[in-house]
Chain A
Amino acid sequence: MDAQRLKDNFAQVAQQGDAVALFFYSDLFVRNPHLRDMFPIGMSGQRDKLLRALGRIVSQVDDLPRLVPFLQQLGRDHRKFGIVAEHYPHVGASLVRTLKYFSGPDWTPELEQDWGAAYGVLAQVMQEAADEDALSTPPWWEGRVLGVERRRFDLAVIRVEPDRQLSYLPGQSVAVELPSRLRQWRFYSMANAPRPDNTVDFHVRLVDGGGVSPVLVRALQPGDRLRMGAPIGTLVLDEASPRNVLLVAGSTGLAPLKAILEQLAQRAAPPPVRLYFGARTRDALYDLEDLRKRAAELPWLTVVATVSDEAPPPPGGSFAMDVRPGPNGALVQVPAPGSGPHDTDIEYGALPDVLARQGSWHGHDAYVCGPAGMVTSTVEQLVRLGVEHSRIRYETFVDSER
């Protein structure tokens, strides 16, 4: 097999972009109409994924130590889609036909042979990983919704009970599929360390125009069913590290960090932990009450809430104030009842700026999760503030997570 020849050929074909993936899937479905049902109606995202995966595979075709783990994960991931061994040859045949079609006169029998061989290896690695995985775990878990707690009109905390033991590391996530939104899988992190009763919590933010999150936030009810894939993810606690821990969460990026927090709480002697929970507005700090309660109980935990898009309330006089008779007979302003802790003790500004006010974070293990922009700027800031890059673990929302 000539790796360079494959790379060159793929580079040439990939110039056609989306048309390549479009041809591939159409060819696959024309020849195997029964496979169409395994895919969503809208295929744009699917085509992007295919091209990205192919690009990655081809670029590493001569670097098996890196490629093989990727393929193995790919094989395991595909179990939840219901992919079985008999599907692989169809995909391989369509792939080669696609490459041939777009190569035009540059196609040679040698290329055809190389691609066939390469796909054979790929399919074998994926299948073997899937088969091995099948010995210990099901392809998916069925879950029953136990509770939906809507914290704001677009934020909900959902509790789900899987039908079988779901083993995972705190910080990991699962792909979720709803019966009313078939073939649309979205990743959500478990927001708790594994519990004896096996239930898991998900924090869901409604994404405008999203396919799945609006249903999860607005329409899900106790008793509803959903399907979950195998847990994945590398945003997990470094258990061997004795360092102090910094958790930085943007919006529902809190979920995996809360799971890690619970895991830390199970240690005999937890290290000092500071949790920064940021949102754009005060009312989006959907889980602050619970975090404050935990901080009050756990001496090693400090919780800092931050708000980026709102100004601090002006001193003296605001919606949050009430008027009461004072001790000297005159009326005075007091904090309104029920405004809770949300409106006091909040840091204002973007998360990286708030972190910088704290000074140096040298010697900390940092875990960061949230929207892409927030994660990028936070990680950069933390490096500037003395945290070694290797001591930062982070994850961003996937674009398709909506």
Chain B
Amino acid sequence: MNSPNLPDPFGDTPGSPAHESLPADQGGPGAVPAWSVPEQPLPQQSAYPVVPAGEPGLPAQGAPPSPGTPGGFGLQRADRLTAGEVRSVAFARASLGRRGLDEDHVRAFLLRVENELVQLGNEKAALAEEVAQLRERLGSAGPDGRGGMAHEEAHFQAVRILSSAQQTADLYVADAERYTRELAHEARLHREAILSDARGRAELMLEEAQQRAADVAERAARSAAAAEQALHDQALREQSPHDRPGPSSGTAMEPVGQGAHLTQTSLSADERQSMEREIAYLRTYSDVYRTHLRSYLEALLRNVDEWENSERAALPDRP
């Protein structure tokens, strides 16, 4: 405190702090001492910038802090303590009758120094934080970049891209599924149609064969009945000349009581022939229909085989 440069507190008051900052910035130590060029004599009571920080009233006009000074960040601070100010501080002498400097004045100045140091520390921490953030932002492109805004944005971008790619894939899968489902459904309907058609045809064939056979059988039965009647009549006629049938009868005729047997066994050769012809015809007819039916069904089976083979060939994943 007992600086050798202490100026005369009376009269030679130092310039305003604002003025003082100029030489400090421009030339640092060695610049023109402020007290030697007092430009603006200030009133005594406000000669010392020992007012609490923030209190207005100090002359700040003329020289805002340069960006290089701590106060250069954010708002301009008029109440900042400067190096030049410290260098040039001039304490008032103690009042008459006491020795040394004005104690209150010194204390106030110390308080101001302390405030300044605290503020400097805070500002340093804030700057360090900002530097770290900037570094992070820069480094996020690097291998260890994490957590920065740019990195997060890049991640969301990647997530969005992957999401839309996945949605596209899902769409294709769903389309392919729907397509195969529709194809299979159509094939199923086709199969039903083929089967029902086959059933219809087969039924028709059988019905026709049946009808035919029934007609044949009917005719055969009718002719058999007619033949029987004829035989019966003949037998009666043959019987009448001989009044009695008897063991003496030399014919192959059976007794009358067994007329039924007689008529059946004695079916005339003509009738037998006719019936055999009918039966042969019927057999042929049935054979023809069976052949038709078989070839039709075989064609259907071939159809199904082809279908299966092509389906198997269409499955690509057989090892």
CB contacts (< 8 Å) of B111 on chain A: these are: none
User: Counting CB contacts under 8 A, is B173 at the interface?
Assistant: yes
User: Counting CB contacts under 8 A, is A22 at the interface?
Assistant: yes
CB contacts (< 8 Å) of B180 on chain A: these are: 208-209, 214
**Are the CB atoms of B170 and A42 closer together than 8 Å?**
yes
User: Counting CB contacts under 8 A, is A331 at the interface?
Assistant: yes
In the bound assembly, the distance between CA atoms of A23 and B159 in angstroms comes to 7
**Are the CB atoms of B170 and A215 closer together than 8 Å?**
no
CB contacts (< 8 Å) of B167 on chain A: these are: 22
Instruction: Flag the segment in B18-26, B84-92, B203-211 that touches A.
Output: B203-211
**Are the CB atoms of B213 and A209 closer together than 8 Å?**
no
User: Counting CB contacts under 8 A, is B269 at the interface?
Assistant: no
In the bound assembly, the distance between CA atoms of A22 and B171 in angstroms comes to 14
CB contacts (< 8 Å) of B181 on chain A: these are: 208-209
Give a binary string over B150-187; 1 marks a CB under 8 Å from any A CB, 0 the rest.
00000100111011001101100110011111101100
Count of CB-CB pairs between chains A and B under 8 Å: 94
CB contacts (< 8 Å) of A25 on chain B: these are: 166
In the bound assembly, the distance between CA atoms of A23 and B161 in angstroms comes to 10
Report A199 CB to chain B, min CB distance, Å: 22
Report B50 CB to chain A, min CB distance, Å: 45
**Are the CB atoms of B185 and A42 closer together than 8 Å?**
no
**Are the CB atoms of B214 and A331 closer together than 8 Å?**
yes
User: Counting CB contacts under 8 A, is B47 at the interface?
Assistant: no
**Interface residues on chain B, number (Cβ under 8 Å):** 43
**Are the CB atoms of A209 and B184 closer together than 8 Å?**
yes
Known: A30-B162, A43-B166, A330-B217. A323 touches B210 (CB 8 A): yes
**Are the CB atoms of A323 and B199 closer together than 8 Å?**
no
User: Counting CB contacts under 8 A, is A135 at the interface?
Assistant: no
**Are the CB atoms of A331 and B213 closer together than 8 Å?**
yes
CB contacts (< 8 Å) of B202 on chain A: these are: 319
User: Counting CB contacts under 8 A, is B319 at the interface?
Assistant: yes
A residues 17-52 with Cβ under 8 Å of B? 22-23, 25-27, 29-31, 41-44
Report A279 CB to chain B, min CB distance, Å: 15
Give a binary string over A199-222; 1 marks a CB under 8 Å from any B CB, 0 the rest.
000000010111100110011000
Known: A30-B162, A181-B317. A42 touches B210 (CB 8 A): no
**Are the CB atoms of B170 and A27 closer together than 8 Å?**
no
> Which listed residue (B159, B213, B304, B318) contacts A219, Cβ 8 A?
B318
**Are the CB atoms of B177 and A30 closer together than 8 Å?**
no
**Are the CB atoms of B203 and A331 closer together than 8 Å?**
no
CB contacts (< 8 Å) of A219 on chain B: these are: 312, 315, 317-318
CB contacts (< 8 Å) of B163 on chain A: these are: 22-23, 26
In the bound assembly, the distance between CA atoms of A153 and B194 in angstroms comes to 14
Give a binary string over A328-339; 1 marks a CB under 8 Å from any B CB, 0 the rest.
011101000000
User: Counting CB contacts under 8 A, is B302 at the interface?
Assistant: no
Known: A180-B317, A219-B315, A319-B199. A22 touches B221 (CB 8 A): no
In the bound assembly, the distance between CA atoms of A301 and B48 in angstroms comes to 115
Interface centre among A23, A30, A31, A181 (most CB of B within 10 A): A30
In the bound assembly, the distance between CA atoms of A318 and B203 in angstroms comes to 7
User: Counting CB contacts under 8 A, is A179 at the interface?
Assistant: yes
User: Counting CB contacts under 8 A, is A85 at the interface?
Assistant: no
User: Counting CB contacts under 8 A, is A321 at the interface?
Assistant: yes
**Are the CB atoms of B159 and A218 closer together than 8 Å?**
no
Residue of B nearest to A329 (CB): B217
A residues 171-211 with Cβ under 8 Å of B? 179-181, 206, 208-211
In the bound assembly, the distance between CA atoms of A214 and B220 in angstroms comes to 57
User: Counting CB contacts under 8 A, is B261 at the interface?
Assistant: no
In the bound assembly, the distance between CA atoms of A323 and B283 in angstroms comes to 12
User: Counting CB contacts under 8 A, is B124 at the interface?
Assistant: no
In the bound assembly, the distance between CA atoms of A317 and B319 in angstroms comes to 49
Report A28 CB to chain B, min CB distance, Å: 10
CB contacts (< 8 Å) of A331 on chain B: these are: 210, 213-214, 217
Report A125 CB to chain B, min CB distance, Å: 29
**Are the CB atoms of B209 and A323 closer together than 8 Å?**
yes
Give a binary string over B212-253; 1 marks a CB under 8 Å from any A CB, 0 the rest.
011001001100000000000000000000000000000000
Residue of B nearest to A33 (CB): B162
User: Counting CB contacts under 8 A, is B294 at the interface?
Assistant: no
A residues 309-358 with Cβ under 8 Å of B? 317-319, 321-323, 329-331, 333
**Are the CB atoms of A42 and B169 closer together than 8 Å?**
yes
CB contacts (< 8 Å) of B158 on chain A: these are: 26, 30
User: Counting CB contacts under 8 A, is B191 at the interface?
Assistant: yes
**Are the CB atoms of A218 and B312 closer together than 8 Å?**
yes
In the bound assembly, the distance between CA atoms of A163 and B89 in angstroms comes to 95
CB contacts (< 8 Å) of A317 on chain B: these are: 203, 207
CB contacts (< 8 Å) of A26 on chain B: these are: 158-160, 162-163, 166
**Are the CB atoms of B221 and A44 closer together than 8 Å?**
no
CB contacts (< 8 Å) of B155 on chain A: these are: 27, 30-31
Report B317 CB to chain A, min CB distance, Å: 3
User: Counting CB contacts under 8 A, is B188 at the interface?
Assistant: yes
Known: A22-B163, A25-B166. A321 touches B206 (CB 8 A): yes
**Are the CB atoms of B185 and A208 closer together than 8 Å?**
yes
CB contacts (< 8 Å) of A22 on chain B: these are: 163, 166-167
CB contacts (< 8 Å) of B318 on chain A: these are: 180, 219
In the bound assembly, the distance between CA atoms of A391 and B187 in angstroms comes to 42
In the bound assembly, the distance between CA atoms of A340 and B316 in angstroms comes to 37
> Which listed residue (A44, A218, A323) contacts B213, Cβ 8 A?
A323
A–B complex contacts, Cβ < 8 Å, 14 sampled: A22-B163, A22-B167, A27-B155, A27-B159, A30-B155, A41-B169, A180-B319, A209-B181, A210-B177, A214-B184, A218-B312, A219-B317, A330-B221, A333-B210
The 10 closest A-B pairs by CB, nearest first: A209-B181, A180-B317, A42-B173, A208-B184, A26-B162, A26-B159, A26-B163, A208-B181, A30-B158, A209-B180
Given contacts A26-B163, A208-B180, A214-B184, 16 further A-B contacts (CB under 8 A): A22-B163, A30-B159, A30-B162, A41-B169, A153-B308, A180-B318, A206-B184, A208-B184, A209-B179, A209-B184, A211-B177, A319-B206, A329-B220, A330-B214, A331-B210, A333-B210
Q: Which B residues are within 8 Å of any A CB, using their own CB?
A: 155, 158-160, 162-163, 166-167, 169-170, 173-174, 177-182, 184-185, 188, 191, 199, 202-203, 206-207, 209-210, 213-214, 217, 220-221, 286, 304, 308, 311-312, 315, 317-319
